[in-house]
Amino acid sequence: MKKTKKLSLTKDGKKKLIIGSGIILFILILVLALAFNKPKTEEKPLQQPEQKEPVSEDIHIIDLNSNSRPIAVMINNISTARPYQAGLQDAYLVYEMIVEGGITRMMAVFKDADTARIGSIRSSRHYYLDYVLENDAIYVHWGYSEYAANDISKLKINNVNGLVYGNTYFWKDNTLPIATEHRAFSSMELINKGIEKLGYRKTTEESPLLTYSAKAIDLANMEGAILANQVDITYSKSVTSSYTYDEATKTYKRSVNGKAHTDYVTKQQYTAKNILTYQVKNTTISGDSKDRQDLDNIGKGTGYYISEGYAIPITWEKTSRSSKTVYKLKDGTPLVVNDGNTYIQIQPKGEQLSIS
């Protein structure tokens, strides 16, 4: 039987094509067949926007998620002022270097601290600026040598100077039985007020100087490891900094010239989790009336990383005044240190270092 076509008119009189029922049924079957046999395409799951993972919060010495700018404070270390030192235990880094007269001066670096008494605070020496720069820190000091004054200006160091702001962001503790130049102190509250008033940048994009491990690092089986229960670092005839390992706390108790180095406020002996020690050449600046020093600290050399009763040999390299000092193991692997505060002992070349 033939399939028929039939013409009809719509209500408006136009022609309308009517297809026979057989053809309609055929088309429906064809459409359904194609639909069922259509190849399936794999549906891609919706992708979530990439989330930036927060830095591990397992490190306690500093908050690795914080972008607060470090604050570096010059600390007086003359023997008559040492019993009145305060606040060093709150610093996550402390540098010790030689200055004129065979004495040393310290630079304590703080981050997100609220320490109420820091000091006593002393004047700047120009090579300390290299370590202010490597930490992208704001520098707190009371006065300076002429070389430091020139470099603070030339290098555009953000600084809070007690000579200028002594009555505002510092105070003199005149109850202490020492010369007036050794009585200057400040607090993090006052320092931060100074930073705010002076309009300095308060955040940093720089990563910390050192890489920390939340898990304790076992140095005992590392290449070149030696026992380090007692460490003596001689700076001159006047100063030897020493550390005695305390197995109970897994830290080093700090002494100077055989006497416990204690905090004036807490009366507790200062301790260190990590010690980095290496030597650089120092020379007296020609023609300087006070025999001020210069340090040959741009370059590279060897030293030791000391923690939890052992010392291992390391290398160090600093390529410019502003660059970070890079510490590595002997095989070239970047150094990772234990979670805790670190003393960086930059010792004069040729002086005695004893590790036993």
pLDDT one-digit tens code per residue, 242-270: 999 999 999 999 999 999 999 999 999 99
Residues of the chain with pLDDT under 70: 1-57
pTM (2 d.p.): 0.84
Is the peptide bond preceding residue 120 cis, with omega within 30 degrees of 0? yes
pLDDT at 56: 52
Pick the closest to residue 338 from 258, 271, 265, 268 (CA basis): 271
pLDDT at 57: 55
225 alpha carbon, distance to own chain's centre: 26
Question: Which residue stretches of the chain are H helix?
Answer: 21-36, 129-134, 146-154, 162-165, 188-198
pLDDT tens profile 186-236: 999 999 999 999 999 999 999 999 999 999 999 999 999 999 999 999 999
**What does CATH list as the number for 71-355?**
3.50.90.10
**Could you tell me if 9 and 18 are in contact, meaning their C-beta atoms sit under 8 angstroms apart?**
no
58 alpha carbon, distance to own chain's centre: 15
How many angstroms separate the first and last alpha carbons of the chain? 112
Q: Residue 101 in 3-state DSSP? A: helix
Please report, for the chain, the start and end positions of each structural domain, with discontinuous segments joined by +.
71-355
Q: Residue 23 in 3-state DSSP? A: helix
Sign of torsion over alpha carbons 79, 283, 106, 71: positive
**Could you tell me if 95 and 131 are in contact, meaning their C-beta atoms sit under 8 angstroms apart?**
yes
pLDDT at 3: 38
| Residue length of the chain | 356
Q: Residue 28 in 3-state DSSP? A: helix
Beta strands in 24-141 (DSSP E): 71-75, 93-98, 104-110, 118-119, 138-141
Structure-token match 């650089």, residue found: 280
